[in-house]
Structure 1
Amino acid sequence: MPKYSFPNEQATKSAKQVQKKEKENNIVNLRDFRLAQIMIFAIEEINRSESLLQNVSLGYKIYDTCSSRMSSMSATMGLMNGPEIVAGDRCNGQSPIHAIIGETESSATVILSRTTGPFKIPVISHAASCECLSNRKDYPSFFRTIASDYHQGRALAYIVKHFGWSWVGAVNSDNDYGNNGMAIFLNTAQKEGICVEYSVKFYRTEPEKLKKVVDTIKKSTAKVIVAFVSLLEMGLLIDQLSIQNITGLQIVGVEGWITSKSLITPKNICVLGGSLGIAVRKIYIEGFADYVLKEFWDPAFPCSQKEGNDSQIKLKCSRYQDLLALKSYNEDVSEHRHSSNVYKAVYAVANSLHSLLKCKEPEGCEKDLIIQPQQVVEALKKVNFTVKMGDRVWFDSTGATIAQYEVVNWQQDSGGSIQFKPVGFYDASLSPDQRFVVNTENIIWAGAKLKASSTFLFQV
């Protein structure tokens, strides 16, 4: 049976210091590893399906681009060129790749989409939310299972306005994600009568700019900070604020970091406790937690099959030792909110191929058809299906999905653990007078102050 390859790009990493520590200690980036697992889980689920691509198997390759744009470009070229031609093989006109799932960060996705664009290879991102990618002239083959930041930037301004914070500071990552998102927030804030004391930015490789940002925050009078910041930059910023003991700030954040457990450390709680922000909805994927603990390991890592004597097993396992440490751990699975986006992206490709291969029950699919990437692009524009979690999947005219967010609050429970408690939502599928709701009951603010209970519904 033919195997249709649509490799997954994993790019988002934790803060620079954490990344350095992981490299020194040979520790796997758990967030990216889980996203790779959910892609494999979805593919294996589809390959077992009796109603979707019945007699066709999906294949895949996974590349970790390590937050490096150069590595991302290298991986992209490797995918597009396909495997080396085996002696005796003849060119059959079949594209070596049908779709790419990725990247995680917007800037890397811009590079990826510009590279693949001339070849009309569809790119489906689970996390790249920059509004810049909505330009169909520049990115005609780009799709995403996350909403554009057009909605997130506006939602941040509505949160600020609702709570009467008329004097705020603004910080963003100096990349496509941060610059475009902050521009949307500032534009909306101006229309809503919100005054911005300062708007500063930095990138992860610019320590001097980071120092200036921290100095600006330290000298300012604004006690509310809107942080349209990527996870890596947020880790660096919080680390410096913690070192300088700059606390008592009410931070309002974005989906890029607001539910990241990698930021939860004892020293960071003093800075981030009470943070409020926009998060991707948490969606439970039935069977994934069990898959993480049981089904994934044996076929993926031969080391887990203890065959041979002790010395042979030890030699075979040495290359997997950092991964095998995660074998019995799945406590983080419930907070991987982008996992459902990866799951939906895989199913979007599968449904497109199902249509193109003229699959019917019980006959199956026409396996001998040659499918080109441009055909997959056109098929993706027409997909409209519902995944087992109940969510409907389809793409609008910009290649994006509908904006549906949770508003979450960083709260410390009685045991000392941080919980991301939902306190509202933004749903662009609803009418303007219903799409944004904030319930202030039990919100914990910076300084552990509890707001009086009330619910607000307002038009946007």
Structure 2
Amino acid sequence: MPACPLLLLVVSASQAEKSVCRLRADPENPQLSMDGDIMLGGIFSFHSRWKDRQETYMHKPLPLQCTSLNFRGFQFAQAMLFALEEINNSTELLPGISLGYKIYDACGSIARGVRVALALANGNEDVSAPSEAPCARPAQVQAIMGESSSSPSMAIATVIGPFHMPLVSHFATCAYLSDKTKYPSFLRTIPSDYYQSRALAQLVKHFGWTWVGAIRTNDDYGNDGMATFTETAQQLGICLEYSVAFFRTDPPDKIQKIIDIIKASTSKVIITFLSHMDMDVLIHELSNHNLTGYQWVGTEGWIFDSQTASMDRHHILDGAIGLFIPQAHVSGMRDFILDVKPLNSSSNELFTEFWETLFSCKFKQSNSSARNQRECTGHEDVNKVQNSFTDMSLMPIFNNVYKGVYAVAHALHNILSCNKTSNNKVQLDPFTILQHIRNIKFQTKEGDKVYFNENGDPAAKYEIINWQPTKNGIVDFVTVGLHDTSLPADKQLTLQNKPFIWAQNSQQVPLSVCSEKCSPGTRKVLQKGKPVCCYDCLSCAEGEISNITDSITCVRCHPEFWSNEKRDACVKKEAEFLSYEEIMGALLTAASLFGTCMTAVVAFIFFRYRQTPVVRANNSELSFLLLFSLTLCFLCSLTFIGQPSEWSCMLRHTAFGITFVLCISCVLGKTIVVLMAFRATLPGIIICILWLTISPPFPFKDLKTFKDKIILECALGSAVGFWAVLGYIGLLSMLCFILAFLARKLPDNFNEAKFITFSMLIFCAVWITFIPAYVSSPGKFSVAVEIFAILASSFGLLICIFIPKCYIILLKPERNTKKNMMVRGAPKSS
């Protein structure tokens, strides 16, 4: 595998020497190593920081000086060694073949991670090579376990990917690493952040937090994870008030700016995509400002880390919730990890630093700058100390290291089984190993199923963790739910029936919104220049409702319905029509019946005294016909009262038209000749018949005149028919009025011209006034106006024409004689 050029090797050749590949840079020696038939590499961060130096490039840069011992790196390395020891002692997996290892410290540095990865691939020693293939030889290791962080893993995977060397990470969760075109040899035993970010957004949405802040590590893990969270959050209606990034090596003023942003914010929930090392830095600053009262939501990077919990002396993170890998138990691993004495075989500065930090002591020969510490004996008991190294809260991650080593071992076992060879020094091809690891499927002794999908990722399942402080001040990591991406979307998130502890030890879910929820009856209106989560609640307009919380629109009610006072429901409009029950309807009904009775009394009087000169002198036949038509006029007004129906609508207007035409025709007949009464009535009847035939009146619901009422009325059908009837009545009335007016001064005593003139004057005045009043009156009042016009004109005719005669008949019988009727110049009888 031609990997030497990547390490800046130089080939020096002479006629007397063979070609030799020499490493130009300083060699990189592993911190932990053991020989074996097949070698595996390991890259873990035994330190979390390094001293930053400004290089002048005037001389060769010094090696990276790592600082801040990180016990987690040792735990991960011990988990790898535990798996290797189990495999080497197994009689079923790789029998007769021993697995060795070379483990390097990456110090959390991307550059150093790449450097040690190349050292694992190529080795450090000079290599003699035949001239036909200079600097070509098999890889030093067959697979690499690590790194813990995403950014170093991406850099390492980019470098070793073209050579198909498997890189199996236990804690690098960045979603970018699922891209097999860029990282073809990368696999992991921890789910991708693509799933964690979406699960975190769903968790935030579940608790109703729509206005949140966000803090992330300024690397690929934090930036990519937060980008996916932000995208999903926007889809779920969640807004970020701020989103800031920092790295643990940033200057203090940059971290101070983040503190200032948190103080100035209004959101009470903070989403974090931070590694535990960055979270420790942030917690230190938050403690200095006593910044409490915020609900923290975290990722697997720190949410289950007891070291972070132990640093939170001001209980800033109490009540925090987040996602973590499901709990796991591997028998014997805890005891193996805590058995640190075999590490002493390395006999290097790393072990000395580790031992001194673990037991807070100092060896005599140590170069440590620590003062006032007791002397280390080398026989200290790890079971008597309590710190992050002895804490086993990250056992699920240790289990991921364990599963990764076993995945490589099973792949090697399958390859060797297929080759059916017992040659322990068999030359293995990394590409073949990679293909076998991708397709591996097995079950650990604890029952965990291990396999990888097409992107080199395992199935995504998370436990929901809640930080619940105990009475002795120690945080209890309580599992309160589960998120399983293999389930349908609506069933992925499940919460257990356990009590939650929230920020400041509250048992009430904290509220974090930019604007309060809009209650039913209102709609959301965005505030100008602000995110969609910031809005005002405006009441729905009349006739519109919203019956859900946080509605963005109001829905208009059906035309027959209207909004209630709260604007959260449509109620059926009140139907309004001129009814007999209401006062106005009752009064008009009484007037109509009174007019009918009055007409009947007059008719009875005329019939009783039909042989008297007053009755006989003015064409008694027309008088009775006129009384009959007046009776119909009074009664037809009753058809206008009550709820309109199809028959009542057709009856009321045609009855009105025909009866009034007949009535005016009779009056006209009294003025001219009897025959005119029937001839003048015929056109009115014809107009009504045509009206009913072509476009008759019909019941109609007026939904526009009043917003909150339905007016039940009779539509005219054909407006031409209505106005034609009304116009014809008006024509007859005017003709009758003119003729009566011309004959009003005739000398005979029995002439009715004066009374007919006066009655027609009243009739015309009523109906001329009726037109504007009818057009301008809304709803049932237009019906009342029409009834009033009918009654008024009917009473006008009845009183003006017949009451004077009844007066003579009943009260002045001495004037009811033929002689009195024939005397010229005598007082008029009518």
- Structure 1 and Structure 2 fold alike (TM over 0.5): yes
Are the equivalent residues in 1 in contact too, given 2:338–2:390 (CA < 8 A)?
no
Match of 1:342 among 395, 401, 404: 401
Corresponding position of 2:465 = 408
Q: Once structures 1 and 2 are overlaid, which stretch shifts more, 39-48 or 191-200? A: 191-200
Q: CA deviation at 1:450?
A: 2.0
Q: Distance in 1 between matches of 2:49 and 2:503?
A: 22
Structure-2 residue corresponding to 1:358: 417
Opposite residue 110 of structure 1, the aligned amino acid is M
1:417 aligns to 2:474 (yes or no) = yes
Question: What residue number does 1:274 align with?
Answer: 319
- 1:53, 1:364 within 8 Å by CA — same for their partners in 2? no
Displacement after TM superposition at 1:323 (Å):
8.5
After superposition, what is the alpha-carbon deviation per residue over 1:103-159, rounded to whole angstroms, capped at 9, x for unaligned?
A: 011001111111111221110100000001111100011000000001110111111
Partner of 1:121: 165
Percent identical among aligned pairs is: 39
Aligned with 1:201 (options 245, 248, 256): 245
CA shift, 1:402, in A, is: 0.7
Distance 1:77 1:220 in 2: 46
Cα distance, 1:419–1:439 mapped onto 2, change above 3 Å? same
Taking structure 1 as the reference length, the TM-score comes to 0.86
Conserved 8 A contact 2:50-2:107: no
SS in 1 for 2:316: helix
Worse-matched range after superposition: 285-294 or 71-80: 285-294
Instruction: Give 2:454's match in structure 1, choosing from 390, 397, 422.
Output: 397
1:262 to 297, 307, 316: 307
Q: Distance in 2 between matches of 1:298 and 1:98?
A: 24
Structure 2 CA distance for partners of 1:35 and 1:180, relative to 1, 3 Å: same
Whether the 8 Å contact between 2:49 and 2:107 is mirrored in structure 1 is: no
CA contact (8 A) 2:49 2:108 kept: no
Distance of 1:293 and 1:80 partners within structure 2: 30
CA distance in 2, matches of 1:414, 1:82: 53
State the shift of 1:406 in Å: 1.0
Query: Equivalent residue for 1:307?
Result: none
Which structure has more relative contact order (CA 8 Å, sep 6+)? It is: 1
Amino acid at match of 1:74: R
- How do residues 35-46 of structure 1 correspond to structure 2 at under 5 angstroms? 35-46=76-87
Q: Which deviations, in whole Å up to 9, do the C-alpha atoms of 1:48-107 show, x marking residues without a partner?
A: 111100011111011111112222122112111125268999999532111110101100
Normalised by the length of structure 2, the TM-score is 0.49
TM-aligned CA distance change 1:135 to 1:9, over 3 Å = same
| Cα contact 1:274–1:446 (8 A) shared by 2 | yes
Shift of the alpha carbon at 1:242?
Answer: 1.5
Q: Which residue in the other structure is 1:70 paired with?
A: 111
Q: Deviations over 1:201-230 (max 9, x none)?
A: 122232333222211111000000101112
List per-residue Cα deviations over 1:293-327 (Å, max 9, x = no partner): 45x63485388xxxxxxxxxx88999996997574
Deviation of 1:251 (Å)? 0.5
Amino acid at match of 2:42: N
Amino acid at match of 1:4: I
Match of residue 455 from structure 1: none
Greater C-alpha radius of gyration? 2
CA distance in 1 between partners of 2:50 and 2:213 (Å): 24
Distance in 2 (alpha carbons) for counterparts of 1:69 and 1:235: 20
What is the CA distance between 1:377 and its match in structure 2? 0.9
* TM-superposed deviation, 1:267: 4.8
* Distance change in 2, residues 1:440/1:177 (3 Å): farther
Counterparts of 1:232-381 in structure 2 under 5 Å? Answer: 232-265=277-310, 267-294=312-339, 297-298=341-342, 301=345, 327-328=382-383, 331-358=390-417, 365-381=422-438
Q: 1:432 & 1:322 partners in 2: Cα distance? A: 58
Task: Please tell me whether residue 10 in structure 1 is matched to residue 44 in structure 2.
Answer: yes
Q: Distance in 2 between matches of 1:173 and 1:85?
A: 40
Instruction: Work out whether 1:141 is the aligned partner of 2:198.
Output: no
* Structure 2 residue aligned with 1:79: 120
- Whole-angstrom CA distance in 2 between matches of 1:100 and 1:13: 19
Question: By how many angstroms is 1:364 displaced?
Answer: 7.7
Match of 1:153 in 2: 197
Judge conservation of contact 2:48–2:107 (CA < 8 Å) in 1.
Answer: no
Range with greater deviation from structure 2 (193-202 or 176-185): 193-202
Higher helix share: 2
User: Is this contact kept in 2: 1:16–1:235, CA < 8 A?
Assistant: no
Q: 1:411 to 1:15 in 2, by over 3 A?
A: farther
Question: Which residue of 2 is the match for residue 458 of structure 1?
Answer: none
Q: Contact (CA 8 Å) 1:12, 1:104: kept in 2 or not?
A: no
* Pair 323,3 (structure 1): closer, same or farther in 2 beyond 3 Å: farther
Q: Specify the SS of the correspondent of 1:101.
A: strand
The answer to whether residue 445 in structure 2 is matched with residue 388 in structure 1 is: yes
Alignment check: 8 A CA contact 1:156 1:277 kept: yes
Check 1:322–1:13 CA distance in 2 against 1; reply closer, same or farther (3 A cut). farther
How many residue pairs get aligned? The number is 433
> Which amino acid counterpart does residue 5 of structure 1 have in structure 2?
M
Aligned equivalents of 1:13, 1:81: Cα separation in 2: 24
Q: What CA distance in whole angstroms lies between the structure 2 residues aligned with 1:113 and 1:146?
A: 16
Which 5+ residue runs of structure 2 have no aligned equivalent? 1-34, 52-64, 348-362, 369-374, 510-830
Which runs of 5 or more residues in structure 1 are unaligned? Answer: 18-23, 304-313, 453-460
1:429 is aligned to 2:486: yes
Structure 2: how far apart are the matches of 1:202 and 1:92? 42
1:284 touches 1:334 (CA, 8 Å); kept in 2? no
The residue identity in structure 1 corresponding to 2:295 is: Q
Q: Letter of the 1:124 partner, please give it.
A: V
What's 1:107 paired with? 151
Partner SS state of residue 221, structure 1: coil
Q: Distance in 1 between matches of 2:321 and 2:338?
A: 32
Q: CA 1:346/1:186 → structure 2, altered by over 3 Å: closer, same or farther? A: same
Q: Structure 2: how far apart are the matches of 1:86 and 1:124? A: 28
1:251-300 alpha-carbon deviations (Å, 9 max, x no partner): 00000111112212465442111110011222111011222345x63485
Taking the aligned partners of 1:402 and 1:149, their CA distance within structure 2 comes to 12
Contact 2:36–2:101 under 8 Å retained in 1: no
Q: Does 1:58 align with 2:99?
A: yes
Partner Cα distance (1:167, 1:197) in 2: 6
Q: Say if 1:358 and 1:365, in contact at 8 Å, map to a contact too.
A: no
The match for 2:527 is none
- Root-mean-square deviation over aligned CA pairs: 3.2
Amino acid at match of 2:280: G
**C-alpha separation in 2, matches of 1:15 and 1:92:** 35
Q: Give me the whole-angstrom Cα distance separating, in 2, the residues matched to 1:389 and 1:111.
A: 33
* TM-superposed deviation, 1:170: 1.1
> How far apart in 1 are the matches of 2:75 and 2:381?
10
1:225 paired residue among 270, 273, 277 = 270
Pairing 1:154-173 to 2, within 5 Å after superposition: 154-173=198-217
Structure 1 stretch displaced more, 87-96 or 435-444: 87-96
* Whole-Å separation in 1 of the counterparts to 2:249 and 2:342: 39
Quote the Cα distance in structure 1 between the aligned partners of 2:316 and 2:36: 53
- The aligned residue for residue 21 of structure 1 is none
Task: Answer yes or no: is the 8 Å Cα contact 1:53–1:359 preserved in 2.
Answer: no
Q: Distance in 1 between matches of 2:275 and 2:268?
A: 21
**1:199 match: secondary structure:** strand
Matched residues in 2 for 1:16 and 1:273: separation? 31
SS at match of 2:271: strand
Q: Match of 2:156, SS? A: helix
- 1:425: how far off? 1.3
